[in-house]
A = this chain, B = another copy of it.
Amino acid sequence: MSVTPDEQPTDQPEAALADPEYREGVVELLGLLGCGEFLAFERLVSEAVLAPGLAQRLRISRIAAGELAHCEMLQARIAELGADPVALMAGFLPALEDFHAATTPADWLEGLVKAYVGDSIAKDFYREIAQHLDPATAQMVTEVCAELGQTDIVLEEVRGAIAADPRVAGRLALWGRRLLGEALTQAQNIAAEREPLVRLVLHGSYNAPADLPDLAGLTGRLTSAHVARLQALGLSA
């Protein structure tokens, strides 16, 4: 983010947030991220009972505690912007809970792949969206993002399981495809109801037209990254 001598960086956030439509989009975005992090926390912990041992459950619990800390940072920022964090996040619960209900892992490996895929798509999305945000909001999103991806446990365990039984790769590849499909379905459900959020995600402002080619572009970039990641993991997606 370049700053010319005439523009004080401390003024930028105020200027951007003075636009009520931009502000509405940002608040919706923070609510979506906060609710997503909270459900990721709850689900990681609940699904860790599938782990083969206590060591893995302890590792998952630390990753989950990081998601909860993100959720609390996001709630604090929402409150700073004058919105009610709980009411705002609650609005995203139905779509996000539908996603989790449709992707309840059947075993530990599916749980690991879900944690990894979810974390990675979230990270890609955060990075993409951060480019469209005012500096203060972008910094918060980047901070949350930097702590994601502590999922080395996934890479080790999934590669080990495939080495032990190569048939596992096919099953998990299908699972990875299903996770992306369900995520895109719920993203569409959310987008249909949240115009300020969609305009913010696509253009960084409310006034620009929300044309479909851009949405397809974003979806395409997230999908390509997802496919490349699953391939790197030994899953031909």
Contacts and interface: CB of A to CB of B under 8 A. Distances in A.
Interface of A: 35, 38, 41-42, 45-46, 48-49, 53-55, 57-58, 61, 64-65, 68, 71, 86, 89-90, 93
Contact of A54 (B54, B55, B61, B90): B90
A38 B58 contact: yes
28 contacts: A35-B54, A38-B54, A38-B57, A38-B58, A38-B61, A41-B45, A41-B61, A42-B45, A42-B46, A42-B48, A42-B49, A42-B57, A42-B61, A45-B45, A45-B46, A45-B64, A46-B49, A53-B90, A54-B86, A54-B89, A54-B90, A54-B93, A55-B86, A58-B71, A58-B86, A61-B68, A65-B65, A65-B68
Given A38-B57, A41-B61, A54-B93, 13 more contacts: A35-B54, A38-B54, A38-B58, A38-B61, A41-B45, A42-B46, A42-B49, A42-B57, A42-B61, A45-B45, A54-B86, A58-B86, A61-B68
